[in-house]
């Protein structure tokens, strides 16, 4: 895995650079986006808060005045993304953190989803964040610094049935950000993927879930899946801001950051199983190499 610098992961205490940070955050109307926006403002930072429905974030302006800029934003519209970032930069004079947080989940087995269902999911979860990144980079590069954050999931490493397309969007999200980190490190721009586990947010609300047209053959399977999902222990979203601030205040932030205590055991088990299977088939895999081809 490509790190952002040679000192990353040494276990040394992060250098605190608190206060006076300017954030640009997508998807701030509910869930983590709302929690993190309010927490940043409470600690004295400034935030360009965006949402599709401006009324849903009007209370930020009422409470925090000039320290917050509320902007309407649909991340699937690249020109609107570019205009919002430029407006935020003009208003605050800088952008320290650009945070891709908007997204939703598609509930569907692999067979059930239509191409339009999947396309719409990828437009929001992959192409939307990509538009934000591409519009932000000229600004951050000119500054000579910046930190790009993206909300992924522990499902960027493991998968569940019934939400496989959502998982696939997070796997793509992860790989894009890992490549990005290597490509922009020389410009002084850092990248961190935030990977929450199960939390008691509004992510399961109708606004954050879309359902493909179901097939009767999968009804029992999905019912059992959701029953099992309902038993998951969920973390408190309000407990997350301090951990997030340690990441953004760190001199050498991690490329990937698990949010919550349940992710690492699950990811460790998944990769252990993958390694075991790869190793069991290694002789067959190696036999397919053939003789070295010289040019």
Residue range 46-62, pLDDT digits in tens: 999 999 999 999 999 99
- Using 50, 70 and 90 to split pLDDT, how confident is the model at 185? very high
pLDDT greater than 90 at residue 251: yes
- Averaged pLDDT score across all residues of the chain: 90
Which range is least confidently modeled, 10-24, 99-113, 179-193, 252-266?
A: 10-24
- Which CATH number does the domain housing residue 64 bear? 3.40.50.720
254: which 2 tokens?
């991690």
Catalogue the active-site residues.
Answer: 152, 166, 170
Local confidence band at 6 (pLDDT 50, 70, 90 cut-offs): very low
99's tokens? 């945070």
Picking from 34, 147, 134, the residue whose alpha carbon sits closest to that of residue 94 is 147
What pLDDT, in 10s, does the model give residues 262-278?
889 999 999 999 999 99
Would you say residue 224 lies in a domain? yes
**Averaged pLDDT for residues 156-160:** 90
From residue 65, give the alpha-carbon distance in Å to each of 1, 58, 59, 62, 70: 42, 10, 10, 6, 10
Please say whether the beta carbons of 178 and 1 come within 8 A.
yes
Mean pLDDT of 202-222: 81
Asked if residue 17 belongs to a domain, the reply is: no
What was the pLDDT predicted at 146?
98
Q: How far apart are CA 97 and CA 168, in angstroms?
A: 26
The answer to whether residue 6 is domain-embedded is: no
Express each pLDDT in 66-93 by its tens digit: 999 999 999 999 999 999 999 999 999 9
On whether residue 295 sits in a domain, the answer given is no
Q: Look at residue 99 and tell me if it is in a domain.
A: yes
Structural domains in the chain (count): 1
Instruction: Look at residue 60 and tell me if it is in a domain.
Output: yes
Structural domain boundaries, residue 179: 22-282
In a domain, 67, yes or no: yes
209: three-class secondary structure by DSSP: strand
Q: Answer yes or no: is 10 within a domain.
A: no
Q: Is 76 helix (H, G, I), strand (E, B) or coil?
A: coil
């Amino acid at each position: 895995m490509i790190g952002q610098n040679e000192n990353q992961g040494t276990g040394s205490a992060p250098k605190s650079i608190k206060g006076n940070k300017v954030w640009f955050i997508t998807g701030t109307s509910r869930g983590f986006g709302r929690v993190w926006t309010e927490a940043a403002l409470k600690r004295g930072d400034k935030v360009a808060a965006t949402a599709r429905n401006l009324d849903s974030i009007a209370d930020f302006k009422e409470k925090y005045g000039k320290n917050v800029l509320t902007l309407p934003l649909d991340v699937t519209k690249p020109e609107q993304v570019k205009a919002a970032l430029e407006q935020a930069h003009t208003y605050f004079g800088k952008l320290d953190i650009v945070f891709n947080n908007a997204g939703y989940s598609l509930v569907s087995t692999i067979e059930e989803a239509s191409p339009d269902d999947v396309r719409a999911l990828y437009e929001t979860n992959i192409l939307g964040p990509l538009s934000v990144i591409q519009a932000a980079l000229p600004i951050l590069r000119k500054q000579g610094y910046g930190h790009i954050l993206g909300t992924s999931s522990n499902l960027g490493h493991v998968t569940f049935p019934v939400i496989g397309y959502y998982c696939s969007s997070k796997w793509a999200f992860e790989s894009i950000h890992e490549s990005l980190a290597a490509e922009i490190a020389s410009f002084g721009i850092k990248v961190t993927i935030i990977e929450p586990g199960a939390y008691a947010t509004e992510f399961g609300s109708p606004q954050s879930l879309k359902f493909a047209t179901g097939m009767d053959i999968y009804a029992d399977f999905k019912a059992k899946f959701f029953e099992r999902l309902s038993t998951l222990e969920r973390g408190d979203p309000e407990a997350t801001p301090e951990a997030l601030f340690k990441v953004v205040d760190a001199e050498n932030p991690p490329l990937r950051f698990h949010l919550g205590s349940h992710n690492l055991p699950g990811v460790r088990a998944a990769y252990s199983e993958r390694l075991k299977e790869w190793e069991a088939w290694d002789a067959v895999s190696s036999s397919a190499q053939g003789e070295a081809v010289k040019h």
